[in-house]
Amino acid sequence: MRAPHVRSTTGRGGAGVLLVLAVLAALFVPARSADAATVATGPVFNRPTGDTAAQQAIRSQVRSVIANADSGSIVRLALYHLWDDTIAADLVAAKNRGVNVRVVLDRTTLDHPSSYDTLRAALGTSTSAASWVALCASGSSCLGPAGTGINHNKFLLASSVAGGAQKNVTMQLTSNLTPSNYSRYWNSSLTVAGNGELYDGYVAYFAKLPVQNRAAWSYTYGNAGDYKYYFFPRAGGDESTDTVVNALDNITCRWTDSSGAHRTTVHAAMLKITRQGVADKLAALARAGCLVDLVYSEMDAGTWNALHGVSGLTNRCYQHDDDADATTPRRIVHSKNWMVDGMYAGEVQKVMWTGSHNWSGPALRNNDEALLRVTTPSVYDAFEANFQAVRSAAVPGTSDDVAVCKSDDTD
């Protein structure tokens, strides 16, 4: 909404005009609660081996964004599973103080329906309203081929935070909002404020999810400064339309400059590595001289065989029954992060990717997913440090020739 034009004047009417301008300015500044504050930006990681605060660090960041969203602003959440009644209550509280709250969930979130039921009662399900909650069709993602895939997205958007001090807040997570994701699964997140191109790209994608017009959907990507976003699913039938393989094709493994000979490193903390084309490409990079180090929780027989017995390629499985109770979730790496340090796209640089996108077939062809590329050095360094922490904690680690590391059963 645009404020009406007020013609400037001088003389005795000037004070009156200034008063009008002040009133108009107040009208067009988003309202904030008395204790609203700016939110932290940059990477946030949970640590399931730490105390409660460390385990719930990403959850706390999500709650902070919601709690500090301004009245009159819009909060958008696209998520696979919301099984957290406190966050559901946070979203309702935001709606009650004047925030427009819009949520898209995969229908399997109804496996534990209390959080969804809370949102449905408070927000309603009409996507023509200011606030709403929507589900993808049963057995389907919102945009992929009917009867296939899931809405596997994990992102939160806020148009205005802390009385307008932060605009266009984009938070990309690898985490669902569930107890296991906090206390047993290694996850990561990245919050960016003030990048309108990035935010607008996510908003445009979000708007397509509840409409579920599969025929009109096509794979989408765009640049936004240090960031590039990719939104799935992507149609195709071979590696030429595999976004990850295309990116890996940009790597040069060995190069020489005035300081000597160098080798590119590829590090990944990845829940699923079950896409054969990606596994074959990683093995080829290792054979070409790259140093490839993977921490994963699930492969299948084909990818496991491709990625083992290759010089320069190390695999560490993280599938640990830490409490010796088979009825509880195992501790795993749930992140979907990968980092390249070396020669990429003809330039020596550090570049990384994060998001909801596993190295699996459905992540590419069937699921609603977001993948975010980042070239900010400080962000890369934080994700690399997190990778090293996960790598150190991985159990059974390199002793991964066991059935549980070759299974494919976690989303």
Domain-embedded: residue 23: no
Which residue in 63, 95, 92 sits closest to 175, CA to CA?
A: 63
118 neighbors 85 (Cβ within 8 angstroms): yes
In three-state secondary structure terms, 226 is coil
Mean pLDDT (whole number) for 7-25 = 38
57 and 128 together in one domain: yes
Beta-strand ranges (E) seen in 99-250 are 100-105, 132-135, 154-161, 166-173, 185-186, 188-192, 220-224, 227-232
Confidence check: pLDDT of 151 > 60: yes
Q: Which helix (H) or strand (E) holds 65?
A: helix 57-67
Mean pLDDT (whole number) for 178-186 = 97
Domain-embedded: residue 122: yes
**pLDDT score, position 408:** 77
**Parallel, antiparallel, or unpaired for β 313-320 and 291-299?**
parallel
289 neighbors 263 (Cβ within 8 angstroms): yes
Which has more confidence, 407 or 129? 129
Mean pLDDT (whole number) for 92-105 = 98
Buried b (16+ CB within 10 A) or exposed e, 1-14: eeeeeeeeeeeeee
Contacts of 368 by beta carbon, 8 Å cutoff, 6+ apart: 78, 136, 141, 142, 143, 144, 149, 150, 151, 152, 153, 209, 232, 233
Domain-embedded: residue 35: no
Q: Among the three residues 217, 247, 268, which one is the final residue of a domain in this structure? A: 217
| pLDDT tens digit sequence for 307-340 | 999 999 999 999 999 889 988 899 999 999 999 9
User: Residue 364 belongs to what domain range?
Assistant: 232-406
Confidence check: pLDDT of 7 > 60: no
* Average pLDDT along the chain: 92
195 neighbors 225 (Cβ within 8 angstroms): yes
Q: Which residues pair with 254 in a beta bridge?
A: 263
**pLDDT score, position 17:** 39
Domain-embedded: residue 27: no
| pLDDT tens digit sequence for 220-251 | 999 999 999 999 999 999 999 999 999 999 99
Q: Among the three residues 155, 184, 217, which one is the final residue of a domain in this structure? A: 217
**pLDDT score, position 410:** 65
Q: What are phi and psi of 266, to 5 degrees?
A: -125, 115
Mean pLDDT (whole number) for 398-402 = 97
In three-state secondary structure terms, 111 is helix
Number of domains within the chain: 2
281 and 132 together in one domain: no
Choose the weakest-confidence range: 26-40, 296-310, 344-358.
26-40
191 and 71 together in one domain: yes
387 neighbors 165 (Cβ within 8 angstroms): no
| pLDDT tens digit sequence for 165-180 | 999 999 999 999 999 9
CA distance 252 to 213: 40
Whether the upstream peptide bond of residue 113 has omega within 30° of 0, thus cis, is no
85 and 159 together in one domain: yes
Q: Among the three residues 159, 182, 217, which one is the final residue of a domain in this structure? A: 217
Burial of 263 (0-12, 13-18, 19+ CB in 10 A): middle
Quote the pTM value.
0.91
354 neighbors 372 (Cβ within 8 angstroms): yes
Q: What is the CATH number of the domain that holds 173?
A: 3.30.870.10
Confidence check: pLDDT of 303 > 60: yes
**pLDDT score, position 36:** 81
257 and 388 together in one domain: yes
Whether the upstream peptide bond of residue 210 has omega within 30° of 0, thus cis, is no
191 and 282 together in one domain: no
143 neighbors 214 (Cβ within 8 angstroms): yes
Confidence check: pLDDT of 370 > 60: yes
Confidence check: pLDDT of 19 > 50: no
Which has more confidence, 104 or 326? 104
Residue 11 banded pLDDT, cuts 50, 70, 90: very low
> Can you tell me which residue has the tokens 């993948």?
371
**pLDDT score, position 411:** 63
Residue 219 banded pLDDT, cuts 50, 70, 90: very high
Contacts of 124 by beta carbon, 8 Å cutoff, 6+ apart: 131, 132, 133
Which has more confidence, 327 or 149? 149
Confidence check: pLDDT of 13 > 90: no
> Can you tell me which residue has the tokens 């191109």?
197
Mean pLDDT (whole number) for 82-89 = 98
125 and 243 together in one domain: no
Which has more confidence, 75 or 23? 75
For the chain, the farthest-separated pair of C-alpha atoms sits apart, in whole angstroms, at: 86
Confidence check: pLDDT of 125 > 60: yes
Residue 33 banded pLDDT, cuts 50, 70, 90: low
Which residue in 263, 281, 284, 265 sits closest to 273, CA to CA?
A: 281
Phi-psi region of 58 (alpha: psi -120 to 50; beta: other; left: phi over 0): alpha
CA atoms within 13 A of residue 300's CA, in its CB half-sphere: 12
Q: Which two tokens stand for residue 216?
A: 């009109």
Sign of CA dihedral 202, 204, 210, 212: negative
